[in-house]
Amino acid sequence: MNRPDRAPRRRLDVDARRAAILTAARDAFTRARYADVVVGRVAEAAGASPALVFHYFGSKSGLYEEVVRGAIEGLEARQQAADRALGEHVSARDRVRTTLVVYLDHIAAHPDAWAAPLLGGEEPPGVVALRQDARERYVAGLRSWLGLAGDDWPRHDYALWGYFGFLDQACLAWVGAGCPAERRDGLIEASLGALEGALGDWGR
């Protein structure tokens, strides 16, 4: 009599345990800064051992990096889906507005975790690099929408990167106020105006 193949069951167990750890880690890093999260407590919440956490993710920083990567990928996927839903022949301003709406939804769902790095919370180098890569991808998207791909005029370059400085501080003020829904439109319009003013126009 042949033994049943146990490989699929084992793979499912591994995936389920890893997913449980990531779920617990997302919850922990949402509620506390990186430095304050204890791997043992994450493991306990996931019904696992610290050794298993280190087996799957290598280190606390590796676990955090995976959480942040998932959050960035999820945000980008939602922004891209919202942009695709606009169809063609949509103004650059409306495309930027659409990504802003998705971004503010993301911030409102995780205000403390979003704000922590901007308020002095230290992060591992790998996570800093992840965030920088994501910002560079978004700048590339802005260039495309604005018809500035291949443009090397310094004003445009400063405008695109400076836009994020404005957006970061404006969103911090919004988070500090409790992310009030009635102030979202003002935040969006101010951010769009900052970008438009820095560019001089919308590039189209």
**pLDDT digits 0-9 by tens, 88-114:** 889 999 999 999 999 999 999 999 999
| Amino acid letter, 50 | P
pLDDT for 176-204, tens place per residue? 999 999 999 999 999 999 999 999 877 54
Contact 94, 204 (CB under 8 A): no
Q: Which residue has the higher pLDDT, 10 or 71?
A: 71
What pLDDT does residue 14 have? 84
In whole angstroms, give the CA distance from residue 43 to residue 83. 38
In whole angstroms, give the CA distance from residue 159 to residue 114. 23
pTM of the model: 0.88
Q: Cα 156 vs. chain centroid, distance in angstroms?
A: 24
In whole angstroms, give the CA distance from residue 119 to residue 114. 10
In whole angstroms, give the CA distance from residue 79 to residue 102. 6
What pLDDT does residue 6 have? 53
Quote helix, strand, coil % in the chain, to nearest 5: 80, 0, 20
In whole angstroms, give the CA distance from residue 151 to residue 6. 56
Neighbours of 34 (CB within 10 A): 20
pLDDT for 128-159, tens place per residue? 999 999 999 999 999 988 888 888 889 999 99
